[in-house]
Amino acid sequence: MSEELTYEQKLNIVKELSSCYDEKDNIEICDHEKMKYIMDYKLNIDLEIIKGIFESDFKKTKIEDDDSEDDIFDTATSILNGFYEKHPFLIPFVGKNYSKAKPQYLYVLESHYLPNSSSFYELHYNKLDTEDKKNKWLKEQWYEKDFKWSNLKQFNVNNAESSEKEEIFLHREDIEYMWTESVVKNNIKYNNRFIALFENMLNIKKEEIERAVKSIAFMNYFLRPSEDTGVSIKYEYIDSLFSYLNLIRVWEALGKPYIIICSAKVRNSFKGYWEKHNTILDNSENQIPEDNLCLCNHPSNMSWKRKIDGYKNNEEKLKTFIESVENSDSKNT
């Protein structure tokens, strides 16, 4: 099978292999054209700005293992701008009514998970004992790797003993756990915990979820799944680099919407680089304005009910932000 598959062709392969996809339930709530646009969008940013944002952390990503400045820049931009082409299952969810929505919101959570049965990290990554080795492995075996869609297969419990032990690839169940579109579609119908999460994030009632989801965009910040199912990701420097730059890329591709981040781990990773970015250039097209951002904790975490930035809790902060945006938007229309 050719590696030059379109977004639709790759999407169809996942549907065909998916045990959770049922054609009779296929009531489309996505804007696939907008999602394809995100996949194709190229972020234009200078290497010196990237280095200025990340400073000494940039060397720790192991991208500088490439010889020349041109090689380093080509590697960084190639990984960033080609990421969703190689990992299309991670493309952000965009609701079918997003383009018509006023105002527009991009909701950001932390990361996907893999199933408990997955051996993706277990056979290789989990055995690495230094940051350098982990960043190098992630660069080569995750960020740069073009996963062969033709090789997706049913997970075999005996895989750890098979001749393919040294091969890095994703199984069908791995894809299903990380397929953003499917995760949103299925969980807003059947997962009460997920439904409660979206009720809090969108500040709506349960019966309004499907309508509201059609008008938003949603993504996970970190571009790879957590190492352990149900546990926060232990991100490395290379994850921080590409997650930050990718959020800017998605934000630009979506028309620079308001961003609502609901994760303490994401907030901590993002905020430091965002503040450095703001000191490098004023009014850069790549900078996300402070007025466009709301940084909260995860609604499922106990910290959701705690004080934050002068508000009695995260719920009040998010509600105040949305009300401010809505009031400002109504005055401008």
The confidence score (pLDDT) of residue 62 equals 86
Among 70-84, 155-169, 245-259, 305-319, the least confident range: 155-169
Give the separation between CA 100 and CA 95, rounded to whole angstroms. Answer: 10
Q: Which residues pair with 259 in a beta bridge?
A: 106, 293
The DSSP-derived string for 253-320 is: HTTS-EEEEE-HHHHHHHHHHHHHHHHH-SS-TTPPPGGGEEEE--TTSGGGGS-BTTBSSHHHHHHH
The model's pLDDT over 148-173, given as tens digits with 9 standing for 90+, comes to 555 554 433 344 444 455 556 677 78
Which H or E run includes 217?
strand 217-220
Angle at 83 between CA 78 and CA 88, to 5 degrees: 150
pTM: 0.89
The model's pLDDT over 287-308, given as tens digits with 9 standing for 90+, comes to 999 999 999 999 888 888 899 9
The model's pLDDT over 127-150, given as tens digits with 9 standing for 90+, comes to 999 999 999 999 998 999 887 555
